[in-house]
Amino acid sequence: MKRFLVLAVVIPALVLPVRGETIRWVDFDVSYESMKYALDQDILTAQQEKHISWIDTLALAACRTGGKCGLSSVKQAVSDLKKDKSPEELLGDLYKYYAYYHNAYSAALGGLVGSYAIEKDGQWVPAYGLKAFSPIAAGYGYSHCDDFGVARSFGFRRKHLGNDLMGGLGTPIVAVEGGVVEAMGWNRYGGWRIGIRSFDSKRYYYYAHLQKDRPFAPGLKEGDMVQAGDLIGFMGRTGYSDRENVNNIETVHLHFGMELVFDESQKECNSEIWIDVYGIVRLLSQHRSSIVKTSEGWTRAYPYQDLDTMGYPDEILHIFHEKSQLSGREI
């Protein structure tokens, strides 16, 4: 424990800003295993009087470990949060870091978990849990490794700011989270690419190297609103060229990245905040969107609605009321 306290104390000031200041950097060092455990506890307690939010859990663990969030520290945080004590009481002097970590993790993970519904056999089925999707549609294989920060040299020497998912040409790519298509078209580095801003504006998702000739979902355009799991494009190997529609990437893959935006001045500049999404991609692999091709084109197998952002239709609302009466919990 003493080692953990020392780590927390020596965090550079530029990483842990004074409360109220805009966050300028996030070193997202949370493993898949830690996120998975925190998420499972969040879902398990969702209908209980004491709901243990995964973001609260990770923020508490991060304060104690200087942001490392090892699995043992996350398990301890869950155990402590189940007690009748606040994070301030649990952390003591370390509580001064809590707002930073909570805001940082809320920005990175805030749109991934919540209430949603899918339609099966004409009936809406509501659920609580992962409401974001893997960027790779269900039924399509892919491989990846943690390649964030690896050197890149095209154009200029720089670090890789995403996660490359290797797969087959034409693999359907879906929106991880709902939002608005903010950028779409050709980029000399990313080839055919799409940028989608989350509804709360905190996350900018970047999908690059889409397929030559047919990169995007039919009819999709800038300014469109998409739901999590909607088809947005197809995997390819375009990019590394000033000329449009050129395959200059050796291996077919999707470059998937997430930028955090705490202030609009952080967009399109040299101080952008891109985080390592490898663990997040692993987490999302358990929730994949089924996309099918029919004579009328591509469509979702199961219509979807984000109940946190789009509201509760009447046919879903009465189901939640029935569940809340059984559990004794308000909705």
- Check whether residue 40 and residue 162 sit in a common domain: no
* Percentage of the chain modeled with pLDDT above 90: 76
Write down which residue in 64, 91, 109 finishes a domain. Answer: 109
Per-residue model confidence as pLDDT tens digits over 132-185: 999 999 999 999 999 887 877 565 666 889 999 999 999 999 999 999 999 999
Domain boundaries, position 12: 2-109
Q: Alpha-carbon distance 26 to 178, whole Å?
A: 23
Q: Write down the pTM of the prediction.
A: 0.88
Q: How confident is the model at residue 13 (pLDDT cuts 50, 70, 90)?
A: very low
In a domain, 316, yes or no: no
- Check whether residue 256 and residue 162 sit in a common domain: yes
In a domain, 227, yes or no: yes
Across 225-242, average pLDDT: 97
Least confident of 151-160, 169-178, 193-202, 303-312: 151-160
CATH at residue 190: 2.70.70.10
pLDDT at 319: 52
Q: How confident is the model at residue 69 (pLDDT cuts 50, 70, 90)?
A: very high
- Check whether residue 176 and residue 269 sit in a common domain: yes
- Check whether residue 163 and residue 219 sit in a common domain: yes
Residue 200 has pLDDT above 60, yes or no: yes
- Check whether residue 168 and residue 53 sit in a common domain: no
- Check whether residue 86 and residue 151 sit in a common domain: no
pLDDT at 86: 94
In a domain, 312, yes or no: no
What phi and psi values does residue 107 have, to the nearest 5 degrees?
A: -65, -40
pLDDT at 11: 43
In a domain, 311, yes or no: no
- Check whether residue 151 and residue 101 sit in a common domain: no
- Check whether residue 149 and residue 283 sit in a common domain: yes
- Check whether residue 299 and residue 152 sit in a common domain: yes
Residue 280 has pLDDT above 60, yes or no: yes
- Domains of the chain: total: 2
In a domain, 322, yes or no: no
- Check whether residue 81 and residue 20 sit in a common domain: yes
In a domain, 128, yes or no: no
What phi and psi values does residue 96 have, to the nearest 5 degrees?
A: -65, -20
- Check whether residue 220 and residue 87 sit in a common domain: no
- Check whether residue 55 and residue 149 sit in a common domain: no
